[in-house]
Structure 1
Amino acid sequence: MTSRCFLTSLLVVLGLVFGIVRCAGADETRPPVAIQFSLDRPIDASAAPFVLAATRGLFTSEGLAVNTNIANGSPDGIARVAAGSSDIALVDINELIRFRDKPGTPPIKAVFVLFNKAPYAIIARKSRGVRLLSDLEGKTLGVTEGDLSIRLWPALARQNGIKAASVKQSRISAAVREPMLSAGQVDAVTGFSYLSGVNLRDRGIPADDLAVLRYADYGCEAYGFALIVNPAFAAARPGSVKGFLRAVMAGTQLAIQEPERAADEVVSRMDDGSRDLELERLRAVIRDNILTSEVKRNGLGGIDPARFDRSVDQIAEDFKFQKRPATADIFDDSFLPARGGRAID
C-alpha cells in the first residue's frame, strides 16, 4: 500500500470513529422531552405515584422533564388533553367514556389505569341509621355539583334491590359536604372513599360512627382514575409515553412498599398537609383502589375487556350512548410493558 493510500484509509477510519463518538456524545446531551401533565385535583396522597416519580428521579431517568399542573376535575383534564395544552392527564375513565360518545371528539384514549376500582362511595353516619346500602331508603343523601359517583347510583340501587326514588337527594356544595354530614343535616353523602371517608374522621367524627359504603363492594364494575394521552403527542412521542408509564409504575411500586416515606414526600408538596391524614389516605387508596385481586393477578395498568363491558352496561343506566364503546375505543394497551413488566413486586 502506498503512503497516500494508507493516509486516505486512516482518515476514513478516524472519520468513522469521530462520527461514532460525536453521535454518542449527542445522545448523552440530548435535552429531555418536555411533558405537560395534569392532575385532576390538588396534590394529596392519591398522587403519590407521580410525586415519587418526580422526587426520586424516575421521570428524569426516562429522559423526561415533567411539568405538573392542576385541572379543575376530570372534565377539565380531558379538555386540556383534547386541546393539546396538556400531553397527559389523570382523569376518571368513566368520564372519558361519556366524553368520547359526543360527536366530533378527538380520539383520546386511556393508556394506563391507576385505580383498578373506582373510589365511588356513599359515606354515612351509623348514628343516623345507615350501616348498609339498603338502609338508605327513606334517608337524605347529600350530592355535590359535578359529583361523579352519583351517576352510577341508579345502576347500584337497581343491582341491590333499592328503591332509588325513596332516597331523597339534597344538592349541596362541595365546601359543606363534610360539615353537613358531621352536623347531621344529611344522613349520608356521595363522594370518594379516600377523600370524604378520610376527611370526616379528621373532623372528629369517631371512626366507628362512619359507614363507608364503597360501590365496588356492592357490585360496581367501574374502573377509576386512568392516564389519558393527547393523540398527536402519542403518535409523535410513543417512546416518551412508554417512559412516562414506566416511571409511574415504578412510583406506584415505591408507594406500596414505602407508604410512610411516600406520605412524607406528598406532604412536602402540599401547602397545609397532615402527615397522619395523608398516610391514612394513601393506605386506603392502595388497599381499596390500586392493589386489588385483579392487579395482583394481572399486574398494574391494564383492563379486563369482559369487566369493561359490564361497567359500560352500568354506565348506560344513567347515560344514553349514541354508540356503545368497545374496550379498544377507550383503552390502548400498546404503551404498556408486557404483563411480566407490570407485576407487583
Structure 2
Amino acid sequence: MSQSLQQEPDPVTRPLFLASLLGAVLATPVFAQTSVPFTLDWRFEGPAAPYFLAIDNGHFEAEGLSVEISPGQGSLDAIPKVATGAFPMGFADMASLIKFLDQNPDAPVTAIMMMYDVPAFAVVGRRSLGVETPQDLLGRRLGAPPPDGAWAQFPVFAAEQGLDMSQITVEPVGFPTREPMLAAGEVDAVTGFSFTSSLSTMRLGVPAEDIVIMLMADYGVELYGNAIIVNTDWAEANPELVTGFLRAVAAGVRDAAADPAAGVAAIAARNPALDSELEVERLNMALRDNILTPWVMEHGLGGIDAERFATSLEQIGMGYTFTNPVDASRYFTDAYLPTDGSLMMQ
C-alpha cells in the first residue's frame, strides 16, 4: 500500500505543528490602512452624519482608510489647518476658501467635492422683533460672528436686496452667544447656517412660528456652500486615496438620507449629550435644502456648474476686492471625483 505524501502530525509533534501554523498566520501581513485625519468646520451636529456613517458602515475601511473626525470652529479655522498640512482633508465654506487663496496664493489647498450645492447661509430673525423680510433689517440689530461664513456673504445678500448696510447695526458676537442673544432679544436677527441658528434658537425656547429663515440662496445669492477641501501636496501624492475618500463620503450621504436617525445615532455615540431629536431635524433640513438639491439629483454629488460658479465669483467681488487674478480652476477641481457612478444619489 502506498503511503500518503503528506501525513498528519502524530500526537507528539501536533502541538509544535499548531504553534508553527499559528505563528505563520500571525506573521501574515494585514492590509494596511492609511490614517486620514479630517477636520469639520463646526461641531458634531446632524449634517455631519455622512462622515460618521462612512466610518461606522465600513465605507472608509473599504477604501483602505482609517478616518478620524475632529470638530472645528468655523471655516476660517478649518482652511488653515488643511493648508498647513495639519489635516490632509477638511470641510469648509467655498467663499471663505476663495478669499483665503486670494490672500495666500501659494497655499497648497483647494476644494475637491461640493457638499452644499445650495449654501446654508441665512439670516435668521424673529417675527416678534419685527424681522420677516430683508427690508426689515434696516434700523435693527444684526448679530454676526466675524468668522462666520454667512456673515462673509452678507454684503452680497445686502447688495442683491438693495439694503444700505449703514442702516443696520451689526453686533459682533461669538458663536456660543449668537443664538442665546437672539433668543433673549438682544439682537433682532443673526447670520448663520439655516439649520444651525434656527434650530438652536428653538432649543432655547423660542417658538418655531416666531422664527424666520431667510436662506440667502432664495434672495439672489448664487454662491456655493461648503465643500471638502484637500491639501494639494498630499492629494498629488495620494490621488487614489483622495478619490476613495470621496466615494466613501458619497456612500455616507446615501446612508444618511436612507436613515437619518441612524446617522444621528452615529454622532450621538461620540457625543452622548446630543439632542438626537433636534439633530435629526437639522440633518433632514441640510439634506433637503443644501445637499440633495434638484441639481445634485440630476448630475450627482460633488460637482459644480461652471456658469454658476463664474457668477458666484462675480458676486464675491461685490463685497470683496481681489488682490490677485480670479482663477476658478485654483479654487475647485473635479480631478479627484469618482467616475464610476458612485456619486449618483438616485
TM-score, scaled relative to structure 1? 0.88
* Contact 1:115/1:223 (8 A) holds in 2: yes
CA deviations 1:232-264 (Å, max 9, x no partner) are: 211111110010000000000111111122122
User: Residue 295 and residue 145 in structure 1: after superposition, are their counterparts in 2 closer, same or farther (change >3 A)?
Assistant: same
Matches within 5 A, 1:116-195: 116-195=117-196
DSSP 3-state at the match of 2:329: helix
2: CA distance between counterparts of 1:84 and 1:117?
28
2:109, 2:43 → 1: CA distance? Answer: 23
Task: For structure 2, list consecutive stretches of 5 or more residues without a partner in the other structure.
Answer: 1-26
State the match for 2:324 in structure 1. 323
Aligned: 1:256 with 2:254: no
Structure-2 residue corresponding to 1:105: 106
Say whether the 8 Å CA contact 1:44–1:267 is kept in structure 2. Answer: no
SS in 1 for 2:171: strand
Letter in 2 for 1:302: G
What aligned pairs does 1:279-290 form with structure 2 within 5 A after superposition? 279-290=280-291
Q: CA–CA distance in 1 between the matches of 2:121 and 2:330? A: 23
Question: Which residue identity is paired with 1:179?
Answer: P
CA contact (8 A) 1:299 1:339 kept: no
Give me the whole-angstrom Cα distance separating, in 1, the residues matched to 2:55 and 2:148. 30
Q: Which moved more, 1:102-111 or 1:206-215?
A: 102-111
Long gaps (5+) in structure 1 = 1-25
Any idea what the Cα deviations from partners look like across 1:293-337, whole Å, max 9, x if unmatched?
Answer: 211121100011111111111111221102243321111101112
Q: Counterparts in 2 of 1:1-345, with a 5 A limit?
A: 29-338=30-339, 340-345=341-346
Report how far residue 27 of structure 1 moved: 11
Secondary structure of 1:344's counterpart equals coil
Q: Which amino acid aligns with 2:317?
A: A
Cα distance, 1:339 vs. partner?
A: 8.0
Which deviates further from its counterpart, 311-320 or 235-244? 311-320
- Cα distance change, pair 154–339 in 1 and its aligned pair in 2 (3 A): farther
Runs of 4+ in 1 over 4 A off after TM superposition: none
Q: What residue is the counterpart of 2:22 in the other structure?
A: none
Give the distance between the partners of 1:261 and 1:291, measured in 2 at CA: 18
Q: 2:141 touches 2:188 (CA, 8 Å); kept in 1?
A: yes
The C-alpha deviation readout for 1:252-298, integer Å capped at 9, x for no partner, is: 01111111221222222214101111001101111111011211121
CA distance in 2 between counterparts of 1:119 and 1:104 reads 26
Q: Tell me how far apart the structure 2 counterparts of residues 95 and 89 of structure 1 sit (CA, whole Å).
A: 13
1:149-178 Cα offsets, whole Å, 9 max, x none, are: 122222211212222222221222322221
TM-score, structure 2 length as denominator? 0.88
Note closer, same or farther for the CA distance 1:235–1:40 as it changes in structure 2 (3 Å cut). Answer: same
**Deviation of 1:103 (Å):** 4.5
The alpha-carbon distance between structure 1 residues 315 and 339, as it changes in their structure 2 partners (threshold 3 A), is farther
